[in-house]
Structure formats: structure tokens, C-alpha cells
């Protein structure tokens, strides 16, 4: 789990921004902001406001920036081909079953 509260506090510390000043900009008490940061109870709206005030996009910490390896891409490509063939086979089967069903309905 991302500890966004500590990330924001660390950012403020390294950029010489005080939490009380940030709280004033947010129009909340500094104790409320400290509670939000310490317990990770920050709403998306509040995170957006903090990002805007500090001119830093804190949402990026929630992104998974890992790229698939070449082996994973090859595996996924093979799996995709296999699943595509299976879907085509199932579509043919559905067509056959529909034909059988209509023949059986015609007999009754």
C-alpha cells in the first residue's frame, strides 16, 4: 500500500514547505491535516488540492510504471493467438448447435 501521507510529508520537508502552511492553504487545521497524513485518510479531492498547491502530482505514486519484458510479451502474444483460435472454435460450435436446435424444433 502506498503511504501517501509520508510521501507528502517527506516532499514538504525536502522542499522546505511547512505542514501548517499547507493546512492554511487547504483551509483546514494543521492537526486535521497531520491526522490525514498520518492515517492516510486523504480524499482524491484533497490529494488533488495538495498536488496543485505544492505543484507536484502525487497521483503518480499510484501508477505501476513497470513495462513487460520481451519474454512476457512473447508469452502474451502466444496466449492471445491460442485464445483467438479457441474463440473461433466456440463460435463455430455455437453455429452448429443453433442449426441442430432449429432442426429439432422443425421436427416437433
Extents of the domains making up the chain = 4-62, 66-108
In the Cβ-directed half-sphere of 21, how many Cα atoms lie within 13 Å? 9
Q: What percent of the chain has pLDDT over 70?
A: 97
Task: Report yes or no: 37 and 13 within 8 Å, Cβ to Cβ.
Answer: no
Q: Is the pLDDT of residue 68 over 90?
A: no
Region 4-62: CATH code: 1.10.260.40
Q: Is the pLDDT of residue 20 over 80?
A: yes
The predicted structure's pLDDT at residue 65: 64
Determine the Cα–Cα distance for residues 25 and 74; give it in Å rounded to an integer.
50
Determine the Cα–Cα distance for residues 55 and 78; give it in Å rounded to an integer.
44
Map grid coordinates 512476457 to a residue.
72
Q: Determine the average pLDDT of the residues in 13-42.
A: 95
Determine the Cα–Cα distance for residues 79 and 64; give it in Å rounded to an integer.
23
Rounded to two decimals, the pTM is 0.59
Q: Is the pLDDT of residue 63 over 90?
A: no
Amino acid at each position: 500500500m502506498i503511504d501517501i501521507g509520508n510521501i507528502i510529508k517527506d516532499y514538504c520537508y525536502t522542499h522546505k514547505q511547512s505542514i501548517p502552511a499547507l493546512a492554511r492553504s487547504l483551509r483546514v487545521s494543521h492537526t486535521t491535516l497531520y491526522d490525514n497524513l498520518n492515517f492516510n485518510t486523504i480524499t482524491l479531492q484533497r490529494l488533488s488540492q495538495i498536488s496543485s498547491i505544492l505543484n507536484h502530482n502525487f497521483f503518480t505514486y499510484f501508477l505501476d510504471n513497470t513495462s513487460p519484458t520481451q519474454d512476457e510479451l512473447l508469452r502474451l502474444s502466444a496466449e492471445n493467438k491460442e485464445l483467438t483460435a479457441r474463440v473461433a472454435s466456440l463460435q463455430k460450435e455455437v453455429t452448429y448447435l443453433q442449426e441442430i436446435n432449429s432442426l429439432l424444433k422443425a421436427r416437433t
